[in-house]
Amino acid sequence: MATPAGSNAYEYRISKMKDTFLALAEETTGEAKDEWVLVASLQNPKLSVYKLANTDFCIKVVADLNCTPETAFDMLSDITRRGEWDDLCEETGIVEVIDKSTKVQFLKTKGVWPASPRDTLVLAHVERLADGRYLNVAQSVEHARFPPRELEGIVRMEAKISGQVVGPTLDNRPGMCRVVQVADGDLKGWIPKSVIGFIATKSMPNSFKKLDGILKEAEQQSESVVIARAEAEEDEFGPDSADLTSPTAILASLPVTTFTSPSVAQQRRYPAARRLVRRLRAVLDWWNPFLVTLFLFLKAYQGARKRLAA
């Protein structure tokens, strides 16, 4: 996709993204035509994880967190801080700033054995909804400055729609907020159902528990800095903000901010080992479906032999 000349090129797409996301986020669990199935829950913080029936990967998290909506939203909408709370996040960055409320950004996840690591490149948009809640919504895009990274053993997954909507809890408890996160995607490549199950039932709840702990200790905000910047006049945040919000501010002139885990930093000292790991993952990705089929065939063959012997 060619880099557009300005934010208006994305206006219609952002409108459709909002409609799609809110339709999934607002569906009352259990009453939708295709029901949301509860797959995990926590009591502290109060959290429920749902998977949309008859989909490969459409997950919704509904969580009541111990912080103000503004505190939660500013952290959740900052892609460069995702590695602080998301256990699967390995790298993040900003590829292009479209305007004050819209960016092209990327995220790379760790590989969960036996599956390869994934990355995604998305158009991300923030705004205040008419009811006062805060919206962060994203959807996959292509960008000439950030092509797929197959040679590194990384699978480019598709984010059909993802993001969060943040507002007060249903009972308006002070110092609390409700976060609804939706991730509807195509993970691409080969990935076993056990890995998807791990992400939904273990990784997501653990990450939100970690997020709640961080936000609980943070200084509580009564105003969202992210939304204030999105709604501000061009010069309200000082002379530097004009450059930051320029539609032509792309990767060449904007440093990419990444989060790197200690394990990745250690791996970078050993390039030969990294190449070997990538090759092994590529071989496993190719062979695993055949190995699973062979294993099931052998189990069935052994069972048949035992029945014949009996």
AA letter at 214: I
Q: Show Cβ contacts of residue 180 under 8 Å, excluding neighbours closer than 6 positions.
A: 25, 60, 61, 62, 164, 165, 166
CB-count burial class (<10 Å; 0-12, 13-18, 19+) for 279: exposed
Contact 64, 176 (CB under 8 A): yes
- Please report how the helices 69-76 and 204-217 are oriented relative to each other, as an axis angle in degrees rounded to 10: 120
Residue for token pair 């994203």:
138
Which pLDDT does position 233 carry in this prediction? 77
Which pLDDT does position 285 carry in this prediction? 61
Which pLDDT does position 114 carry in this prediction? 84
CA separation (Å) from 219 to 44, 67, 75? 20, 9, 12
Which pLDDT does position 281 carry in this prediction? 61
Which pLDDT does position 309 carry in this prediction? 78
Which pLDDT does position 300 carry in this prediction? 79
Contact 179, 61 (CB under 8 A): yes
Which pLDDT does position 74 carry in this prediction? 98
**What residues of the chain score a pLDDT lower than 70?**
1-8, 28-34, 234-296, 310
